[in-house]
Structure 1
Amino acid sequence: MSKKVLRRVVAGAGSVALAGGMVATVGAGLAAAAPIASPQSWGSHGVAFTRTIDKTSPNVGDTVRVTTTTATSGVDTAYIYRIQDFHPACLTYVGNSARVDGTVENAANVEVNADTNGLGYALLKNDSPGWYIGLNKSRSFSFDYTVGPGCAGGTDLMTTLTAKYYSVAKAWSGTDALANKGPTLSVAKVASTTALAAVQNVQVRQASTLSATVTGGRSGDPVDFYDAGTKIGSGVLDGSGKASFQWTPTVKGAHSLQAKFPDTGYATGSQSAVQNVNATQANVNSTVAVGAVAGAQVGKASTLAATVTPAGAGGTVTFKDGAATIASAPVGADGKASYNWTPATAGDHAITAEFSGRDGVNASTGGPVTVAVADQPAESTPSTTTLNGLSGAQVGKATTVSAKVSPANAGGTVTFKDGDTVIGTGQVGADGTASTNWTPATSGQRTLTAEFSGNGTVTSSSDQVSVSVAPGTGGGTPGTPGTGGGTGSLSNLLGGFGSSK
């Protein structure tokens, strides 16, 4: 008996010297994992080992238990001094989970290394007296691990062990580096999802940011962006799971955008829904030049003129006297807009012109231009202007708007407005009547104005009425000038009044 004890002591001393090289040896053997089912059994120097993993296809976040059972055959005996359980470094040992025969082992007898040559291990030690195995006496050693996100999905990951022991029957002591004994485990890939953020205000030759959010991906993973199935660029995921790409469309019109996350070693591929966007022509900047005004006089109409560059019909120019709005006039195909302005006070007036912009052209402001307005001449003749009655019209149908100027032979023009917006200009005839065609675009209460320009010694005057516009068959949009409307007419004139300036 004393001889056996001596052998055990010698074995313990010799195997300590071997332990330093075991990790590298086992690590090299684990480099190329092939599938090995659970459980696995083998024998070495009279000791039988059976190794089991309770979950060989875990998901990230699962806890797996690795159990190794040792036994001898017949009446042979042996002593186990150390069990070193190797696992992929992406598994993390669960504290206080090491068990011998189902009983939690003293933490002082457990050594944990998180990563050695790509492997981690948990080591159970009992150098003296060792764990006895023999007739009707086997031993089990188990360790729990948490599966981390660093585990490559769909890949066979090797586990194995080394054992330091003394076999009485074989008269052998030492450490077996049992490389590639298994079993292996294969972690399921994380299911990913990909979403493409809304892409808005897309313009030709202007950069737009395409942004995708991926769940299940890892920082640094690629995300590809497509337009109608053609790859247009890529980005990489940051720590928050987002990737972006600066896309500059070169073609006007419809584009079908999509983000795709390719399959990786850790996550399954996914793709976003297709997002259809329309790339418009990028707007160009505009300028407005305000024309000079000469001979302006109180009570006499002077033409305010503005020229928009680039030229083209569309939009309006709003003329202002300081902060006060004078009127808004449409821009013609030649880029020009004008309005007959009758100043009410003498002195210097700062006139500006504000262009509203149009499709493809940005808004702009011109001026101010200083206009010197003289006092009204003493020999001037006052005038009156009266808007004539209107009836039987609805939205969308042309209606004649007319005004009567007195004295009848005054000449000049009458400018008709809906609110501040010019709707037309009529020449004053020999009978003092001027008219224009108005097609109301919206239903509801409208304010019409007729402004006589004045002419020669005859001063200007104006009249204003409030009218109710009935909806047309298309409905109309109440209260918004220049929008909506079907066919119909202007009706229910509420009244008017004349005034002279």
Structure 2
Amino acid sequence: MTAGFAASLGVGTASAAPVSGSTNSGSWTFNRTISNGTPVPGETITVTNNIRWNGGLAPTISAFKDIHPACLTYVANSSRVSGKGVGTDSSDPTVVRMTGSWIRSAVDRNIDYTVQYTVGQNCARDVALTTGAGISANQGTGSETANAGPSITVAKSATTTSLTVSPVPQVDSVSTLTATVSGGVAGVVEFSNNGVVLGTGTAVDGVATYSWTPGVADAGQSFSVIAKYLGDASNAASVSVAQTGTVAAAPAVPAAPSDVVVSPAAVVVGDTVTVSGKAEAGSSVVVTAGGQTCSATADVGGVFSCDVVVDVVGSVSVTAVASNGVGSGPASVPVSVEVSKRATATSLTVSPVPQVDSVSTLTATVSGGVAGVVEFSNNGVVLGTGTAVDGVATYSWTPGVADAGQSFSVIAKYLGDASNAASVSVAQTGTVAAAPAVPAAPSDVVVSPAAVVVGDTVTVSGKAEAGSSVVVTAGGQTCSATADVGGVFSCDVVVDVVGSVSVTAVASNGVGSGPASVPVSVEVSKRATATSLTVSPVPQVDSVSTLTATVSGGVAGVVEFSNNGVVLGTGTAVDGVATYSWTPGVADAGQSFSVIAKYLGDASNAASVSVAQTGTVAAAPVGSVVIAVNPAAPISGAPSAITVTGADTGTDVTIKVGAETICTATVTADGTATCTWTPTAAGSQVLTVDVTVGGTANTVTKVVTVEAEEVPGSPTGSLGSLAGLLGSS
């Protein structure tokens, strides 16, 4: 049955008719017009307010307020004052506020604004919705009239209702009456037949249903079903076109299917057969063959057909039962299909070759991936059984001492099951090998080269049992190799200790590990190093000079610094570099210096001494030059002020950190030079300042400790400008 067309009883969309009203509000007159006084939801309306100033003063207007029902939504950027765009606030759902500055006077009394709204579905229907206006001005001339008008009235939305009835009404069967109301509205739908109300349904997303079950008295009677949407506060009522016809009599169960045929009539278990026959048109037919079923629907001619797998062996009975909405009918006359077992084939592998006291795995593979039991035997004597999983069964056989040198003939027999026939493999034959032994000690072990530096790689080679795994040990290090078919092995190992290092090799096989080879040795010496030294800046009384030793190979360890044979102190080498800070005293002024750096070596690296750095310790700089840092403990990443006091006025002061120049500043009349320094790393830093004191160039240093960067606090916001909040006129 197809859906009927809806007949609408709702209210149609009226043509647009403007409404106007004039109201005095304080010293102002509001002449307001709304483009349509009877809009429909979704329509856009325009409000125009022609305002006249009636007073004698010359007020300045700062804002207009258009008051409207909350169900009207302001159209963004639609507001205009005297035809120009204006800053607008529509955050209040009942007010649109337009701000700016407009001056009125006796010769310029009139001003107007327009604003647009979209009419919402939530507007009350068939009631007057009031509008109003207000104005803000100086000199106390502002005024507001919330009900200035005019009012608008939103009509109810027209609806249409359609109806479907499915399936065709029949005695004692449920027909679903489905009403669809346009616009996806909610509300109540009344269903009736031949003018008698059957019941109601609640529309959800515009759809309401009712279940109708005709009684015995309705059999053969005409029906005329309609659906009436009763409407609500926003939507008008509407009635569907009637769905008509005759109520069918109650159904009966189908007769037994006939002409049932199985094809083919003889199969192997697990095969598929096709069962066909005739039954009531449209009925559901279930075919049963042994423990399996298949289903089909009889076509308009009553013919059905489906495929079923036969899973038991023997003469299998096949029947068919048809059913409809009333129930299931009797079974068909049984027919049979002859089902035989599935043939199988079994293969066998034995791995590894049988050997006394060693496990050989007997693996049987049965075709078709079947399950069941496999029996394994040797020379006709059953060894044991295995369970086939996905057609594979295994058994572990360990020949005894008495089997050594004896012939074997192993077979696997699949014993079959309810669906699969038994089968026997081809025999696997041969002679049982004697028990294995551990390998002998490797021989002819050679280390090449025989003398190396610690950390170098040597190659160890020799001979061992073919196929055995050989582990070579040299001091605390090992390497591994597998002896080839000729018994030759070779591997590389790093020697990590100094001295005469013993090297041995041990071979192992499936039985175990053999004895170690006769030891051979490799002579391992320490790694030579070279140490270089720099002294910067040139030593000077009361100034820090950094002694930097660089040891070849980037080694770690301790470096000893001395001057004229007297130890100054030590430094720890990191990546081969060690430093020491030396500050000569007053007694050193004018004295010769001879500074050396001695790397003391370690377990792997030999000691080395640098070439001496020589010269004369300079006297302390003339005058009193002071370096001040603010803050005293700078923070990494934050700016600090460096002030140098005591140098000659008008001369340049150069400030460095290490080799990097921070800045150059000129000494002012007050005797100071200042610059800004932003440290990039935490830790001890040496400031070097080149100054002129008493006409003589000098260098002054200062050690400062830079603190780690502080965790920043939460950022603070700032107030926006007033201009950002107001629109332009």
Q: Which has the larger radius of gyration?
A: 2
TM-score by length of 1: 0.47
TM-score by length of 2: 0.34
Which protein, 1 or 2, shows the higher relative CO under an 8 Å CA cutoff with sep ≥ 6?
Answer: 1
